[in-house]
Structure 1
Amino acid sequence: MNYIKRFYISSFLHITLYSGFYLIYLQSLGLSKTQMGFLMSLSLILVALLEVPTGIVADKISKKASVLLSKILMVPSVLVLYLTHSFLDILIATLFGAFSVAFLTGAETGWIYELISREGKTEDYPKVYGRIRSLEMMGSFIGTLTGGFLADFVGMKLTILLTLPFVIASLLVLVTIPKDTVRSELSYHSHLLESLKFIKKSPEIAWLFLYANLIGASVIPFTSFMQLYFYKFLVSLTTVSSISAFHTLVNSISWYLDTDRYKGVLYRYAWIALPLLLFLAGFNRWLGFVTLTLGTFIFAQAFKEWQKKFQGIVPDEKRATLGSFYSLTAAITNGLLTAFLGWLFDHMGIMRGLAILALPFLVTGFLTIKYLAFTPSSS
């Protein structure tokens, strides 16, 4: 079994049994939508603050070690969530989760790309990346669907605890994969300054950061509160968890498929397609299923193309750091947006809030496409 297959297995073991009812669990503990929005926002902002330091550590010490540490930190996160009795407990679980994500992002993709590049197979990276994300989503699909049924029969708390064996199994598989070898020889601060200079001297990097942040921000308003969106008119843990499972299945298929013939079109017009789908979800509750399906597919295809462009222009010794810089900007953008969403949906309702939020994204999309028509090299 080669190392790519082991990455595939580890990704498939990303089975989080509570992902389909997480917000409902928080709601059962008495948290308001504002508090939920705050927790999600805090998690994203903490990840943002930790991204660059953890990325530099990965480039200077080991990307593999960073990924393994990420898996280890998931253990206390799950345990505290299981034992929680208060908002403070959930806050602690959120902190562990944020550290886990920070050590993973940038390091994982950089580790994979370096191993592939050793064999001169960088052209295979988009396909490998897509397969990894696809199998991760497939594991999430199984976990979400199973978790919903388990929660109805044994309760949400015990279902949360049953996530731990999958976290440990994924960690053990990753241990067997060859480590990365390229290291930055610069000091921490010098490495950071050189990475910043690289971004400043590369307009393409800045453009790619902007692109990924905007298409991500036009998806977050629906996906971040999707469970509560559907729970409002489909009042069943099993049903909502099944919808979440369906979402992960669509996600898995979307990452797995390669639309070579249309990838350029999807990448170019995701700016406007995604906010249009966001508006449809706010216009009619049943159209939320259309947004769930098409929005997931378009985002996955556009982001795979983005990954190919991004990884192809970043040096090996800066890959985790620059990947973390992107994650930092995405975490800040999504964190601030999610905090605002919690407040907006509390005061205006989810559907009306989605329809209103879609409008500025649509305007931005139209203006961007018009700009790209005059500067095609930027696309």
Structure 2
Amino acid sequence: MDLLNRYRLLMVLMHTGFLGNLVVIYYLSKGLSYAQIGLATALTAWGIVLLEVPTGIVGDRVSRKLSVLIGLTLNAIATVVLIFLSGFAMLLLYALLMALGIAFVSGSLQAWLFDTMRHLGREREFREFMKGTKSLTIPVSALTLLIGAFLAQLYGFTLPLVLSFIVEVAMIILALSIPEYGFEPVRESYGKHTLGAFRELFSGRIFPLVAVSILVSLETNQFRKFFEPYLGKVLAVYLGTTITGTLGLLGIAEVTVRTLPKFIGVRIRDSWSLRLYSVAPVLIPILTVLSVLYKNPLWIVLLGVVATVVSTAFQFNIAIELQHRLPSEKRATILSADSMVSALTMGSFYTVYGFAVNALGLEKARLVFALGLLALGLLVKALEVLGPLKNSLELEHVS
């Protein structure tokens, strides 16, 4: 198989998921509370905070391929823990393993790919390559999620989790077959390299992009966090059944909201993609507010579709822009530092949001947090229009 096609297949398999966010219902079926789920999610995020830069150093100083292989192996082990999940302690163990796995893969995978394309003299094709790859990951993700949702409804959650483990083992074998080209290990000391990466991350050229990206991620995650039980309760009322009886329909909704619209967000014309990039910080929290004000299943799914299209277009443009702005010798570490700052923010958010849902109820917490994020989005747009953020947020790779 062609070298770049092996990368593409690896990325497709990495986006294969038989449960997606339906795993929250699996947690609830095991007797776990929203607060416990929020804490476990926060542990994963905080674990990434502690591990992102050290694992990024592995990618820059030792081998990007090795870093990815370690991460994929840890993800497979985490899935085994999830299959035998019993109680909060095992959920925390799963969360910690996921943090390690994500940290080792984050930064190193795209840096590995970008270095290879540069070695082949094809780095200018990176944007189109990623577009083509995401065009494949989205339908595969949608199909496997649908299969997993109906398998979970008919046979329980164990079967889709076992299928996930099989795919993860296949990813390890595939990654082993891909050579590493164009990698030059960094020779400077760990401390100097790390400090240099953080200085670059917090520079005026990089940090405004990172900060707005984190804000839009918060807005998107707030729309999606506990979305499945929220929609499941609305569906259960409409259909006169239990939330477990809606798993198949929730799988369809998950595909409709989270996967298929990503295809639109990636493949949309560049002119529309840039418009969505511009309005994302304000539009996404407005969609969350609307999902609370009118509780109709089809309306909520439609809003989710729009939110995913907008978020995907925004994050796709940000990811490509960062690859073009970052220096090669620190790319993996800077991307890991970016993920670390993002994870610190997300971890704090998940903890507060989980307890807020327990205290206020899912509907009220959803509305309150959306309004707060909308205020921040409006502030960003004001700073962009008035000038302070205008140049920083302008996409250079499409200029």
TM-score normalised over the length of structure 1: 0.94
Show the counterpart of 1:4: 4
Deviations 1:10-60 (A, max 9, x none): 222232323252111111111111111111111111112111110111111
What percentage of aligned pairs have identical amino acids? 25
Q: Which amino acid aligns with 2:192?
A: S
Show the counterpart of 2:378: 366
Alignment of 1:96-135 (within 5 A): 96-135=97-136
How far 1:251 sits from its partner (Å)? 4.4
**Helix, strand or coil for the counterpart of 2:363?**
helix
Alignment of 1:157-176 (within 5 A): 157-176=158-177
Deviations 1:257-306 (A, max 9, x none): 14212232222221111111121122223332133101111111111111
Q: How many Å separate the matches in 2 of 1:252 and 1:377?
A: 27
Show the counterpart of 2:217: 216
**Helix, strand or coil for the counterpart of 1:203?**
coil
Deviations 1:330-378 (A, max 9, x none): 1111111111111112222222222221222222222222211232212
- 8 Å contact 1:37–1:338 — kept in the other structure? yes
Show the counterpart of 1:33: 34
**CA pair 86-366 structure 1, distance change in 2 beyond 3 A:** closer
Q: How many Å separate the matches in 2 of 1:224 and 1:331?
A: 15
**CA pair 85-117 structure 1, distance change in 2 beyond 3 A:** same
- 8 Å contact 1:140–1:248 — kept in the other structure? no
- 8 Å contact 1:59–1:184 — kept in the other structure? yes
Show the counterpart of 1:186: 188
Q: How many Å separate the matches in 1 of 2:127 and 2:134?
A: 11
Q: Which amino acid aligns with 1:177?
A: I
Show the counterpart of 1:324: 336
Show the counterpart of 2:240: none
**Helix, strand or coil for the counterpart of 2:124?**
helix
Q: Is there any run of 5+ residues in structure 1 with no aligned partner, and where?
A: none
- 8 Å contact 1:220–1:338 — kept in the other structure? no
Alignment of 1:1-379 (within 5 A): 1-14=1-14, 15-180=16-181, 181-200=183-202, 202-234=203-235, 235=243, 236-286=246-296, 287-375=299-387, 376-379=390-393
Q: Which amino acid aligns with 2:391?
A: S
Structure 1 stretch displaced more, 12-21 or 212-221: 12-21
How far 1:197 sits from its partner (Å)? 2.8
How far 1:156 sits from its partner (Å)? 1.1
- 8 Å contact 2:261–2:306 — kept in the other structure? no
- 8 Å contact 1:135–1:252 — kept in the other structure? no
Q: Which amino acid aligns with 1:41?
A: A
Q: How many Å separate the matches in 2 of 1:138 and 1:49?
A: 34
Structure 1 stretch displaced more, 302-311 or 4-13: 4-13
How far 1:134 sits from its partner (Å)? 4.2
Q: How many Å separate the matches in 2 of 1:8 and 1:137?
A: 12
TM-score normalised over the length of structure 2: 0.90
- 8 Å contact 1:11–1:135 — kept in the other structure? no
Show the counterpart of 2:396: none
- 8 Å contact 1:277–1:295 — kept in the other structure? yes
Q: Which amino acid aligns with 1:283?
A: L
**Helix, strand or coil for the counterpart of 1:219?**
helix
Aligned length: 378
Q: How many Å separate the matches in 2 of 1:197 and 1:362?
A: 30
Structure 1 stretch displaced more, 52-61 or 252-261: 252-261
- 8 Å contact 2:197–2:337 — kept in the other structure? no
Q: Which amino acid aligns with 1:203?
A: G
**CA pair 107-251 structure 1, distance change in 2 beyond 3 A:** farther
How far 1:140 sits from its partner (Å)? 2.5
**CA pair 366-120 structure 1, distance change in 2 beyond 3 A:** same
Q: How many Å separate the matches in 1 of 2:259 and 2:198?
A: 38
- 8 Å contact 1:127–1:258 — kept in the other structure? no
How far 1:256 sits from its partner (Å)? 3.8
How far 1:252 sits from its partner (Å)? 3.9
Structure 1 stretch displaced more, 317-326 or 1-10: 1-10
- 8 Å contact 2:265–2:310 — kept in the other structure? no
- 8 Å contact 1:7–1:132 — kept in the other structure? no
